[in-house]
Structure 1
Amino acid sequence: MTAFSVLDLVPVREGGSLGEAFSAATALAKAAEDAGCKRFWVAEHHAMEGIAGGATSVVLAHIGNATSTIRIGSGGIMLPNHTPFQIAEQFGTLDALFPDRVDLGLGRAPGAGPELQRALRKDLHRAAEMFPQDVVELQAFMRGETAIHPTPGLGAKPEFWMLGSSLFGAQLAARLGLPYAFASHFAPDHLDAALQIYRRDFQPSEACEKPHVMAAMNLFVAPTEVEAELVASSQLQAFVALRTGRPGKLPPPIRDYRASLPANVQAMLAHIGQASAIGTPAMARAHVEAFIARTDADEIIFGGSAFEPEARIRSLELAMDALAG
């Protein structure tokens, strides 16, 4: 049976504050837990005024304290931005605080320009080349296979995941025997090929005996299709702003937003939105079921930032009810 989870960017909306963003993330996590979702993941982004999840492990500690059963994790930690030892300490702490509830999703793309590289004191392109070795080193720190032992971290057992939006992550996940999550909600191009490679080349490990796939979808559900499109329009605007080099805080919704755009921008949104479920509960269920049939995914994780936090909670609740029915 397919499991369902939630991915949150901890969006900061126009006219809103960081405190409100964290409160909204907490409320969403509680709602996800109540709705029967398996995981609540937070994504790491830096120097973006509209995304508040940069200190990912700190946000996860806050979410963990507000919930009791749902798994909490990173979707993901961009390991080139850090040292493996630091992440062993951070996620060792989380594992000690929330035993058997912590996921450590790892990604390779630093997504950083020269200014951020200087701020992080890292050569991120070289660090990205070291990503496979750093993943192995991170695991070794937690297993006690290194000369120095992180405390916390030694003996910690978060559930490791490999994240990806290209073929590289699929190949590495298969080689290391890790579960694999594909970022199809914003980078759908290599989805089918990546899953084929991952399943074909998978090598069983102590952590994972057989291939285990999670795929991401955008989710916006409301009683009517028009209302669902209105809720989705805030994220659509954010996508357009990001792709045109003008990222900012999450904007308020605009009715008939897609229709106001030139054809090339509409085509871009349609392409990005291949892995999306926008509409009524029945429409969302049909989209999700078709996506599961296409990917044969073991899990689906739902992203999708909404300007009104209550609208995203309601969207998730309507979707989970429809999928259960």
Structure 2
Amino acid sequence: MDMGSMLPNHPPLVIAEQFGTLETLYPGRIDLGLGRAPGSDAATMAAMRRDPHAGVEDFPQRLAELEGFLGDARPEQRVRAVPGQGTRVPIWLLGSSLYSAQLAAHKGLPFAFAAQFAPAQLDEALAIYRRDFRPSEVLAAPYAMVGLPVLAAATDERADYLASTARQKFLGLIRGQRGRARPPVATLDWTPMERAQVEGFLGAAVIGSPATVRDGLERLLERTQADELMINTDTYALEDRLESYRLVAEVWQG
């Protein structure tokens, strides 16, 4: 089970104990993904009583502290994570820019790139990660995952129609309008600049019929040489999401 946490939002001891609890309940099934960004807007950070700068600049130090709480206890260690200490929950670094790629390479950790909403630096980040990777006790060689939007339906036209829900979400973010998922629509009322911005968010998206999705995923794997893909399917109706996952599974296994 892969789970993520924005490290600047939480003390390392708290994360160690939370994920240590999960690892104790489900041994060998928990991976911990760590993001450097706060993952929220200024109003949310204020509600969390967070300094907008704290936890970002000192991310490497927080990461080292967390690793200490999840590793074997040291004789001089006064504070221990209970549970958590000694669980060695596998840590991934998450990123949508170059920073986490560089840090993951330096520390010899697996790296996951969030191309599901910020694909612009995907290729450069993976290249830096592989070029600068240093073997560690965790990994002998680079190991990269790519997250990306995937939506499969019976036809290309049906998939493109369903994808308008995700496009409306990003259009709302651009306009500063937050809200619940919206039903799919045949056309969107947007400016050329807004359309370009939305397409930038969804630049790595693979949308279409099963054959189109299979070809798109194969091209992306050939391009990125990713060790794993994590797909995100954003639809208005649950049944459309489940159908998409079913279609992707069928063409991928076939």
TM over 0.5: yes
8 Å contact 1:225–1:280 — kept in the other structure?
A: yes
Letter in 2 for 1:153: G
Of Structure 1 and Structure 2, the greater helix share is in 1
Q: Deviations over 1:289-310 (max 9, x none)?
A: 1111111101111012211111
Q: CA deviation at 1:198?
A: 0.4
- Alignment partner of 1:96 is 2:24: yes
Q: CA deviation at 1:160?
A: 0.8
Q: Deviations over 1:219-247 (max 9, x none)?
A: 11000112111221111100110121101
Specify which of 125, 128, 131 is matched with residue 194 of structure 1.
125
Q: What is the DSSP-based 3-state SS (H/G/I as helix, E as strand, rest coil) of the residue aligned with 2:61?
A: helix
- Alignment partner of 1:241 is 2:169: no
Letter in 1 for 2:203: Q
Q: CA deviation at 1:99?
A: 0.7
Q: CA deviation at 1:324?
A: 1.7
- Alignment partner of 1:322 is 2:251: yes
Specify which of 237, 258, 266 is matched with residue 195 of structure 2.
266
The 4+ residue runs of structure 1 with deviation greater than 3 A are 111-115
TM-score normalized with structure 2 length: 0.94
Letter in 2 for 1:136: A
8 Å contact 2:174–2:194 — kept in the other structure?
A: no
TM-score normalized with structure 1 length: 0.74
Count matched residues. 251
Specify which of 137, 141, 155 is matched with residue 206 of structure 1.
137
Q: What is the DSSP-based 3-state SS (H/G/I as helix, E as strand, rest coil) of the residue aligned with 1:254?
A: coil
Letter in 2 for 1:139: E
Q: Deviations over 1:6-31 (max 9, x none)?
A: xxxxxxxxxxxxxxxxxxxxxxxxxx
Letter in 1 for 2:249: M
Corresponding residue of 1:312: 241
Q: What is the DSSP-based 3-state SS (H/G/I as helix, E as strand, rest coil) of the residue aligned with 1:129?
A: coil
Specify which of 13, 34, 57 is matched with residue 106 of structure 1.
34
- Alignment partner of 1:131 is 2:62: no
Q: Residue 210 and residue 276 in structure 1: after superposition, are their counterparts in 2 closer, same or farther (change >3 A)?
A: same
Q: Deviations over 1:122-144 (max 9, x none)?
A: 21312111111111110101112
Corresponding residue of 2:13: 85
8 Å contact 1:165–1:188 — kept in the other structure?
A: yes
State the structure with bigger RCO (CA 8 A, min sep 6), 1 or 2.
1
Pairing 1:106-185 to 2, within 5 Å after superposition: 106-143=34-71, 144-145=73-74, 146-185=77-116
Letter in 2 for 1:104: L
C-alpha distance in 1, partners of 2:86/2:151?
Answer: 40
Q: Deviations over 1:58-109 (max 9, x none)?
A: xxxxxxxxxxxxxx122x2100000000000000000011110001000000
Cα RMSD of the aligned pairs, angstroms, is 1.4
Q: Deviations over 1:229-266 (max 9, x none)?
A: 12211111001101211011111111244xx4332222
- Structure 2: segments with no counterpart, 5+ residues: none
Q: What is the DSSP-based 3-state SS (H/G/I as helix, E as strand, rest coil) of the residue aligned with 2:5?
A: strand
C-alpha distance in 2, partners of 1:90/1:158?
Answer: 11
8 Å contact 2:120–2:203 — kept in the other structure?
A: no
Q: CA deviation at 1:270?
A: 2.4
Letter in 1 for 2:227: D
- Structure 1: segments with no counterpart, 5+ residues: 1-71
- Alignment partner of 1:298 is 2:227: yes
C-alpha distance in 2, partners of 1:317/1:283?
Answer: 15
